């Protein structure tokens, strides 16, 4: 029987902090706009999001195993690419992986249902959309990631829906400011997925996983990272200009210090390999620093 540590590492914990940012952003937006903060509900929101994200990471490995993409991916694997590879290395069986992923998603869903019952029916709708789109991100026959829809699915789930869900838990309603608050993190989490597709290009292509990078080809796709980053920063500027975000939100533009080197790195090292690792780390820092600065702007 695998150790608890093995189950934990199978969730790819290096990516889990990414989901805490949008939960905090939704709650801080509620505080800024409605002057409300319910710490108990916030804590449950964080726990539910972590279970959900961890479960989807594990299920992604499960379905990618049967699709074959992780099995043949031997090119410059890093802590950020190629999945956890726990099935390939024999640390977990496919059955154990599937059960772990389903159990984590179920745990997150139970907490989500509790929150919905005690806050708003809107949370049921948000949760159902997130569950189905998250599951069919990897699962056949829909397989959104293999149809070039992976980036938008991840952006919606771990940006828009997570921020809105956290906001609804606090306020019981949906407001335009919550939508605008979600846009920067939606673009940036999509950018993180996009960068990770470059090292996986050959394995994805050979198994019919038609990601954006596969569809465009790495040489052409490398320039599209600029579009993801531009979307993030333009949404901050426009949101602040229209009054949906606090003017102080413009401090999130400081994260460009991480975003610009990331973009340059992708454009230069689009063939993947270890040379791309600094860019992946920079995008993670861009996402986290932008989110934290937006939360700070809401609090002050």
Nearest to 108 by CA among 159, 45, 59: 45
Of 143 and 84, more confident: 143
Tell me what the mean pLDDT of segment 155-165 comes to: 97
Each residue's pLDDT tens digit, 80-131: 555 566 887 878 888 999 999 999 999 999 999 999 999 999 999 999 999 9
How long is the chain?
A: 300
Query: What is the pLDDT, as a whole number, of residue 74?
Result: 56
**What's this model's pTM, rounded to 2 decimal places?**
0.92
177 Cβ contact partners less than 8 Å away, ≥ 6 residues apart: 29, 32, 33, 244, 245
Query: What whole-number distance in Å separates Cα of residue 42 and Cα of residue 94?
Result: 34
65 Cβ contact partners less than 8 Å away, ≥ 6 residues apart: 71, 87, 88, 94, 97
Query: What is the pLDDT, as a whole number, of residue 83?
Result: 59
* DSSP collapsed to 3 states, 178-229: HHHHHHHHHHHHHHHHHHHCCCCHHHHHHCCCCCHHHHHCHHHHHHHHHHHH
* DSSP collapsed to 3 states, 133-185: HHHHHHCCCCCHHHHCCHHHHHHHHHHHHHHHHHHHHHHCCCCHHHHHHHHHH
Each residue's pLDDT tens digit, 10-46: 899 888 889 999 999 999 999 999 999 999 999 999 9
Query: What whole-number distance in Å separates Cα of residue 19 and Cα of residue 23?
Result: 7
Each residue's pLDDT tens digit, 256-294: 999 999 999 999 999 877 889 999 999 999 999 999 999
Which residue is it, tokens 């019952």?
A: 117
Query: What whole-number distance in Å separates Cα of residue 56 and Cα of residue 62?
Result: 10
Structure confidence at residue 79 as a pLDDT band (50, 70, 90): low
Q: Which bin fits 151, alpha (ψ -120 to 50), beta or left (φ > 0)?
A: alpha
Nearest to 233 by CA among 219, 254, 248, 216: 254
202 Cα distance to chain centroid:
23
Average pLDDT of the chain, as a whole number: 91
Query: What is the pLDDT, as a whole number, of residue 209?
Result: 85
Query: What is the pLDDT, as a whole number, of residue 27?
Result: 98
Whole-angstrom Cα Rg for the chain = 19
Query: What is the pLDDT, as a whole number, of residue 88?
Result: 79
Query: What is the pLDDT, as a whole number, of residue 204?
Result: 86
Is residue 162 a contact partner of residue 49, using CB atoms and an 8 Å limit?
A: yes
Tell me what the mean pLDDT of segment 219-248 comes to: 97
Tell me what the mean pLDDT of segment 127-148 comes to: 91
- Provide the token pair at 29: 């937006």
Is residue 200 a contact partner of residue 83, using CB atoms and an 8 Å limit?
A: no
Domains of the chain (ranges plus CATH)? 4-299 (1.10.600)
């Amino acid at each position: 029987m695998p150790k608890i540590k093995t189950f934990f590492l199978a969730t790819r914990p290096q990516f889990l902090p990414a989901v805490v940012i949008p939960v905090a952003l939704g709650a801080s937006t509620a505080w800024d706009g409605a002057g409300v903060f319910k710490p108990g509900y916030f804590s449950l929101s964080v726990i539910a999001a972590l279970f959900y994200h961890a479960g989807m990471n594990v299920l992604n490995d499960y379905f990618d195993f049967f699709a074959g993409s992780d099995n043949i991916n031997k090119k410059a694997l890093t802590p950020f690419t190629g999945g956890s590879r726990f099935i390939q290395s024999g640390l977990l069986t496919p059955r154990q992986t599937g059960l772990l992923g389903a159990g984590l998603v179920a745990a997150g869903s139970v907490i989500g249902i509790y929150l919905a019952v005690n806050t708003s029916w809107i949370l049921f709708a948000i949760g159902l959309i997130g569950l189905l789109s998250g599951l069919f991100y990897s699962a056949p026959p829909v397989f959104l990631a293999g149809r070039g829809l992976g980036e938008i699915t991840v952006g919606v789930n771990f940006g828009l829906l997570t921020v809105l869900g956290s906001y609804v838990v606090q306020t019981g309603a949906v407001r335009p400011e919550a939508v605008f608050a979600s846009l920067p993190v939606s673009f940036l989490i999509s950018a993180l997925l996009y960068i990770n597709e470059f090292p996986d290009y050959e394995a994805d292509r050979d198994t019919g996983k038609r990601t954006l990078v596969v569809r465009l080809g790495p040489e052409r796709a490398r320039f599209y990272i600029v579009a993801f980053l531009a979307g993030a920063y333009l949404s901050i500027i426009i949101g602040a200009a229209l009054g949906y975000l606090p003017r102080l939100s413009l401090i999130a533009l400081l994260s460009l210090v991480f975003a610009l080197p990331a973009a340059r790195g992708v454009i230069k090292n689009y063939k993947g390999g270890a040379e791309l690792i600094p860019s992946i780390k920079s995008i993670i820092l861009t996402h986290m620093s932008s989110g934290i600065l937006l939360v700070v702007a809401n609090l002050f």
